[in-house]
Structure 1
Amino acid sequence: MTLRQRFLALQSVLNAHQPLWRASPFYERRPPWCAQWPTLAEAALQLDDSTLEHLSGDPAAFQDWLAPRLPVATQLERLCELPALPPRELPPVGAQFDWQIPQRKREQIEAFAAHSPAAGAPLLEWCAGKGHLGRRLALSDGQPVSSLEIDPELCEHATRLASRARIEQIVLCADALEAGAHRHVRDHAVLALHACGELHRALVRHAADDGARSYRIAPCCYYRGAQDGYLPLNRDADLPLDGHTLRLAVTETVTATQRIRRRLARDQAWKLGFIALRNALLGEAIRPFRPVPPTWLTGEFSDYGRFLAEREGLPLPAQVDWAHWQAVGEQRRGEVRRLELIRHAFRRGLEMWLVLDVALGLEEAGFSVRVGTFCDRALTPRNLLVLAER
């Protein structure tokens, strides 16, 4: 199957099953698909807590549970299967290289570098942060490296770290989304490890004219820069997406500690409790929910609810049974998690569609392109790597 054939097959599945993945149970108590697939909805809602935890944390077990109830899940799983890109041996680095690099980030850098072909041109690290990846590949490939980053503080860190590692690294403090930034691409091997949203897509949009020798792109945070709608990169893309829907592609996480997970669970339950109260007072409707200041989540639910009511201009009755609405929020969170399980069955398919859109955009710009994984999803779920050679 070619990249384009895989892309079109994924697009067909996603288009045909839009009701299952577009609507968010967080905002709609019973998304419309529940009426269209009532048996599936009932099976999800009747999952006990232990089974829900098991299915949420074990993709293979979830696939076994889902496939008999939603046969297209098997086809979707096959379309999302890509082999690991071939690795290469990298020369070791000195102890000074690891300074200030978190362990998980260090492992991602090593995996990205090992699964990228040796560069035969000067390196340009796009949206470089502190420039760790560029320094690693400069050491392994024997090429000069430039690192482009918008944040002056990170640029200063990159300069100091390069000096410490005794690597000649040019740090370019510039905005990757400004047209002038693309002049640095010409005749370079471009590296982008988890450049967010439009930051990695901008490389593809200009690839036909920028004169890069090659690209190594591991995309991330597809929703960034797409608030007004996703602008596709290849001629066959016809899946309408907005920033809210694109967030589905990055909902899988593996790095949160148990403490953070407990806090996020409580935060979601409180939000749902307030939404239930608001709907009881104003009527059921899909209304936006803006981010909440962290300090609002440090007290009691009653304080949180009053802060939100004031912000939203929601008149509260003289007496509010806050314990009741907190319990409603907990119950709603259980329902949301169970219905989101079905929605999450499509998140890897959506991510694969987005990454293939990048690949086909580069192909149409005149590059030979490969796509595969560069690490296990336990290290990062954003483990898809696009390799493009002119």
Structure 2
Amino acid sequence: MSNYTPTHADTFLQLSLLLQHARHDWQHTPFSCTQLPWPELAKPLQALDEDELDTLDADDDAAFAWLSQYRPELLSSQQLTLPELARAPNYATPRWSSGIGGRKWAQIKDFAANIHAINHKFEGVTLTQPILEWCAGKGHLGRLLAQQGAPKVTSLEWAPDLCTQGEALANQLQLPHEFVCANALSPQAAALFKPQQIAVALHACGELHLRFLEHAAAAGTQQLAVSPCCYHLIADEHYQPLSQAGQQHDLQLDRHSLRLPLQQQITGGERVRRLRHIELTWRLAFDELQQTLTADSSYLPLPSFPKRLLSGDFSDFVLWACEKKSLTPPHIIDSEHWLALAASRRLLVKRIEFVRHRYRYLLELWLLLDKALFLEEQGYQVQLGLFTDLQHTPRRYLLQATLP
């Protein structure tokens, strides 16, 4: 019996081949489709009504079992799991953490626990290296690390009001914690990376976590820890792999595909499900309306919007959407007509998304492994795993790297 453990490179190659082969499953834009893109799946998917589809989609294990009847290659992908990393011993909240949500505080505590764990230390033991906190907000993570003994914490944040609030909290607690108010994409931010340093980034978005990794590697920063988020927020139209292996097996991921990992939700409840149902229906209903207004059958995407819009009338939503897209709304908005058209289209979208959702984790793992391999190419020893529980956030992946 073999005890061989696959390397990051081994897993990345397996994943690259699987995702290339399955591209026709995950690359579709559901709102742009007029029929199911998989003839062989049409009959079984159409046999599922909307409630059955929603229930199955919410249970990843059951959904994988269902789809693997028709995509047996997916069974091997279920073995591509990541290890559980350190957790905080408790989530007790200090007085200064007032205003930080419970899930967010748990993420901060678990992230900090891993900074200690990788140094073979435990919470409360003094850290010996200064900390650089990237895209810090009010510096909650940096403040916790300063309280746990970091000799100096520098928090980079571009929003002046957040810097001001963070500085006030640090001064109140008399901590060695300073803020640099600057754009993370600027040369000033790049110059903050030093060799003798621990650089940390909790949920840095897209381009910001890419620059974090490149700047840290270029500076020879001894230790870094990053939890990536919002992969689609990049400067280019397509994701540019960092590693040599990623460039060799480039999936040509556009921003639409990069959004797929973010479609996993952890919050539930009837109200949340109802709002998601309304939002999907209204987006589709508006698209039916705009196609008539513009005489163009192309799907017109709408930006994110305040959820309070969903508590009003569909006609108000149409006025908002028309303003956003510089369209002249009709004098009379026949809401019942447009919503009826959206209802049948909604089920088509859900059936397509059901298949695409089975590749959320696999695409995110590919993106994470590309970053891990890049760091290994720069001489780092890399650990990739899960730093917090799913109930706290689906963005619970942590890359930690150390120069030996």
Fold similarity call, TM over 0.5:
yes
How far the C-alpha of 1:258 sits from its partner, in A, is: 4.2
- The 1-side partners of 2:337 and 2:275 are apart by 20
Q: Per the alignment, in what secondary structure is the counterpart of residue 147 of structure 1?
A: strand
Matched length: 384
Q: Does 1:241 align with 2:260?
A: no
Is 1:8 the equivalent of 2:13?
Answer: yes
Q: Corresponding residue for 1:72?
A: 73
Structure-2 residue corresponding to 1:215: 224
Stretch of structure 1 that moved more, 357-366 or 150-159: 357-366
Which moved further from structure 2: 139-148 or 176-185?
A: 139-148
Structure 1 residues 362 and 51, CA gap change in structure 2 (3 angstroms)? same
Name the CA distance, whole Å, in 2 between partners of 1:85 and 1:292.
Answer: 33
AA at the equivalent of 2:225:
R
Report the Cα distance in structure 1 between the residues aligned to 2:301 and 2:113, rounded to whole angstroms: 42
Q: 1:289 aligns with which of 301, 308, 315?
A: 301
Q: RMSD between aligned alpha carbons? A: 2.7
Give the distance between the partners of 1:22 and 1:114, measured in 2 at CA. 37
In the TM superposition, what is the alpha-carbon distance from 1:197 to its structure 2 partner? Answer: 0.6
- Partner of 2:146: helix, strand, or coil? helix
SS at match of 2:398: strand
Q: Give the equivalent residue in structure 2 for 1:183.
A: 191
1:377 to 390, 399, 403: 390
Distance 2:388 2:326 in 1: 48
CA contact (8 A) 1:227 1:244 kept: no
Tell whether 2:353 aligns with 1:340: yes
Is this contact kept in 1: 2:84–2:385, CA < 8 A? yes
Tell me the distance in 2 between the aligned counterparts of 1:4 and 1:292: 37
Q: Indicate if the aligned counterparts of 2:15 and 2:362 stay in contact, CA closer than 8 A.
A: yes
Tell me the SS of whatever aligns to 1:172. Answer: strand
Shift in CA distance, 2/292, structure 1 to aligned 2, threshold 3 Å? closer
TM-score (norm. length: structure 1) = 0.89
In the alignment, the residues of structure 1 paired with residue 397 and residue 354 of structure 2 have an alpha-carbon distance, to the nearest angstrom, of 22
Distance 1:132 1:281, change over 3 A: closer
Distance 1:78 1:127, change over 3 A: same
1:23 alignment counterpart: 28
Q: Which residue of 1 aligns with 2:85?
A: 85
Report the CA distance shift for 1:130/1:257 in structure 2 as closer, same or farther (over 3 A).
farther
1:66 Cα offset (Å): 2.1
Q: Report SS of the residue matched to 1:130.
A: coil
Taking the aligned partners of 2:157 and 2:362, their CA distance within structure 1 comes to 31
**CA-CA distance at 1:227 after TM superposition:** 4.8
Q: Are residue 47 (structure 1) and residue 56 (structure 2) matched?
A: no
Once residues 389 and 20 of structure 1 are traced to their aligned partners in structure 2, the CA distance between those partners, rounded to angstroms, is 37
Q: Aligned partner of 1:175: which letter? A: N
Write the deviation string for residues 190-241 of structure 1: whole angstroms up to 9, x where unpaired.
0111010110110222333213111101100001124522111101111101
For 2:13 and 2:55, the matched residues in 1 are separated by 32
How far apart, CA to CA, are the structure 2 residues paired with 1:259 and 1:301? 18
Write out per-residue CA displacement over residues 64-84 of structure 1, whole angstroms, 9 at most, x where no aligned residue: 2222222122122222x1111
Separation of aligned partners in 2, 1:167 and 1:316: 56
Counterparts of 2:333 and 2:363 in 1: how far apart (Å)?
42
What are the ranges of 5 or more consecutive residues in structure 1 without an aligned counterpart?
Answer: none
Residues 126 and 148, structure 1, Cα contact 8 Å, conserved in 2: yes
Q: 1:285 to 1:361 in 2, by over 3 A?
A: farther
1:209 maps to amino acid: A
2:58 corresponding residue in structure 1 = 57
Q: Which amino acid aligns with 2:84?
A: A
Contact kept? 1:207, 1:362, Cα under 8 Å? no
Which range moves more in the overlay, 301-310 or 130-139?
Answer: 301-310
Q: 225, 242, 251: which one pairs with 2:234? A: 225
Aligned pairs for 1:121-136 (under 5 A) are 121-136=129-144
Question: Which residue of the other structure, out of 370, 385, 394, is the alignment partner of 1:357?
Answer: 370
CA distance 1:185–1:306, shift in 2 (3 Å): closer
Report deviation, 1:87. 4.7
| 1:196 equivalent in structure 2 | 205
Instruction: State the distance in 1 between where 2:93 and 2:296 align.
Output: 61
What is the distance in 2 between the residues matched to 1:197 and 1:307? Answer: 28
Note the C-alpha offset of 1:285.
3.9
The code of the aligned residue for 1:387 comes to Q
Q: Which residue of 2 aligns with 1:107?
A: 106
1:20-42: CA deviations, max 9, x gaps? 1111212212253x23xx2x233
- 1:130-145 map, 5 Å: 130-145=138-153
SS of the residue corresponding to residue 194 of structure 1 reads strand
Taking the aligned partners of 2:334 and 2:374, their CA distance within structure 1 comes to: 55
Deviation at 1:354, TM superposition (A): 0.8
Q: Distance in 1 between matches of 2:257 and 2:272?
A: 24
CA distance change for structure 1 residues 208 and 72 in 2, over 3 Å: closer, same or farther? same
CA distance in 1, matches of 2:302, 2:268: 23
Query: d(CA) in 1 for partners of 2:192 and 2:320?
Result: 48
Given that residues 302 and 321 in structure 2 are in contact (C-alpha distance below 8 angstroms), is that contact kept between their aligned partners in structure 1? no
Deviation at 1:132, TM superposition (A): 0.8
1:273 counterpart = 2:272: no
Mapped to 2, the partners of 1:76 and 1:374 lie a distance apart of 21
The one-letter amino acid of 1:243's match is: R
Decide whether the 8 Å contact of 1:127 with 1:150 is kept in 2: yes
Matched-pair contact (CA < 8 Å) for 2:129–2:150: no
